[in-house]
Amino acid sequence: MLIDSHVNLHASQFEGDRDEVIARARAAGVGLMVNISDKVSGFAAVRALADQPDIWCTVGTHPHEAKENPGLSAADLLAYVDDPRVVGIGETGLDFHYDLSPRDVQAQVFRAHVAAARESGLPLVVHTREADEVMGRILEEEYAAGPFRMLMHCYTSGAELAARAAALGAWFSVSGIATFKAAEDVRALVRDMPADRIIVETDCPYLAPVPHRGRRNEPAFLPHVLAKLAELRGWSLEEAEQRTEAAFFNLFDRIPRP
C-alpha cells in the first residue's frame, strides 16, 4: 500500500477540486492519507475530511501559528484524542527560518504537544527548520522526562540533529525535496536514515516532486517520492513500499493494519 503520511487536504489550494484530488490519489494507488492539523482552532476542517475510511488526521498547532494560542496546554490537545480518527499530535515544532511566532512561544507550545504525545501514546509530528540545537536539546530533555514516539516530518535539517533524534527512536519521513536537483544534502540524509523507521509523504499542496516541481502538489504524486527513496536506498519499488508501509503502521498504530 502507498501511504501519504502528511497531507494538507483542507488547505485553500484544494478548495476548487478537493474531491478530484482525492480521487486521483486513490487512482494512483494511494491507499491511506493522514490529514495534518496546522492549528487547533482550524481542527474542524481537518477532521471533516477524516470521515472517509482512507483518511485519518492529527491535532496540533504548527510553529508558525503558535502565537495564536501561547497558552495552549497538553490538556487542550488531549481533549481531542478520544476521537478514533485522530492518530497523531501535531504538526508542531520550531521554525527559526521564518520566525512567524516568537521563538519562546514556539518552544512553549511545542513542549505542550510533547506532553500530550507522551500522555496519549500517539506519535508526535515534528517540524524543524534552522533550529537544530534548540530542537535537539528540547527533544532530549523531554524524552528524559518520559519517552514518547516522534516523527521528524519532511526532514531537511542537519545530520547531527538527525543522529540525536534517531538515538531517541525517531521515525523520519521523506518528501519530494529528495528529488530536487540541488538537494544532495537531503539525499545524503535519506541514505543514512534508520531503515525500519522511514516513511513517505507529499506535504501537499507544497513541495511537488520532480517532474511536477513548481506545480501544486497532491497525493497522486507520491509514487515519485517512493521511487526516489528506493533509488537512494538501493531497494526495489516493492521493497520500498513494503518497508515504508510497515514503518508507518508501527508508528501510527491507532490505524488498523489492512
For residue 158, give every residue at least 6 positions away whose Cβ sits within 8 Å of its Cβ, in sequence order, or none.
Answer: 132
| Nearest one of 32, 10, 23 to 249, comparing CA atoms | 32
Q: How do strand 124-129 and strand 150-152 relate by DSSP bridges?
A: parallel
The pLDDT value recorded for residue 209 is: 98
The pLDDT value recorded for residue 114 is: 99
| Nearest one of 191, 142, 192 to 168, comparing CA atoms | 142
The pLDDT value recorded for residue 178 is: 98
For residue 32, give every residue at least 6 positions away whose Cβ sits within 8 Å of its Cβ, in sequence order, or none.
Answer: 1, 3, 4, 54, 55, 56, 248, 255
Q: Give φ, ψ of 201 to 5 degrees.
A: -155, 165
Q: CB of 209 within 8 A of CB of 224?
A: yes
| Nearest one of 202, 256, 254, 193 to 59, comparing CA atoms | 254
The pLDDT value recorded for residue 71 is: 97
Domain ranges of the chain: 2-251
The pLDDT value recorded for residue 10 is: 98
CA distance 156 to 153: 9
Which CATH fold topology does 2-251 show?
A: TIM Barrel (3.20.20)
The pLDDT value recorded for residue 231 is: 98
CA distance 90 to 186: 23
Helices 237-251 and 222-233 pack at an angle, to 10 degrees, of 110
pLDDT tens-place values along the chain, 258 residues long: 999 999 999 999 999 999 999 999 999 999 999 999 999 999 999 999 999 999 999 999 999 999 999 999 999 999 999 999 999 999 999 999 999 999 999 999 999 999 999 999 999 999 999 999 999 999 999 999 999 999 999 999 999 999 999 999 999 999 999 999 999 999 999 999 999 999 999 999 999 999 999 999 999 999 999 999 999 999 999 999 999 999 999 999 999 998
Q: What pTM does this model have?
A: 0.98
- How many of the other CB atoms lie within 10 Å of CB of 69? 16
**How long is the chain?**
258
CA distance 218 to 46: 16
